[in-house]
Amino acid sequence: MLSKRLLTLIFVALLFSLMPFARASAQPMALGTVVPTRQTPVHDPVMIREGNTYYLFCTGNGITVFSSTDMENWQKRKPVFDAPPKWAQAAIKGFRGSIWAPDIHFYEGMYYLYYAVSAF
């Protein structure tokens, strides 16, 4: 049986995990999203800073990209891929360009963007 202390820790962790979804607005927001602007919810976000600019990459056709200098006002940019990668189309039957769960790292002067592809 779980101890009282462990149950309390689980409750507190659950409470804090739900806090990002508490909003003053009455607009619905799907679970698992982050809102770079109040009008644009995103899925699977990852952010990196280059100089004074923050870049947000997220799940979407071609990997959706936003940029901001203050992390408050975001501008949508061109996606990473303007067409579905040919290797993914050849390897995955039914692939239509939705690329998800990107992750970005800067290593030895180069940016590396990792992502997943599949047919849903």
Contacts of 51 (CB under 8 A, 6+ apart): none
pLDDT per residue as tens, the chain (120 positions): 556 664 455 554 544 444 444 444 445 545 444 555 555 678 899 999 999 999 999 998 899 999 999 988 889 999 999 999 999 999 998 888 889 999 999 999 999 999 999 887
Could you tell me the pTM of the whole model? 0.66
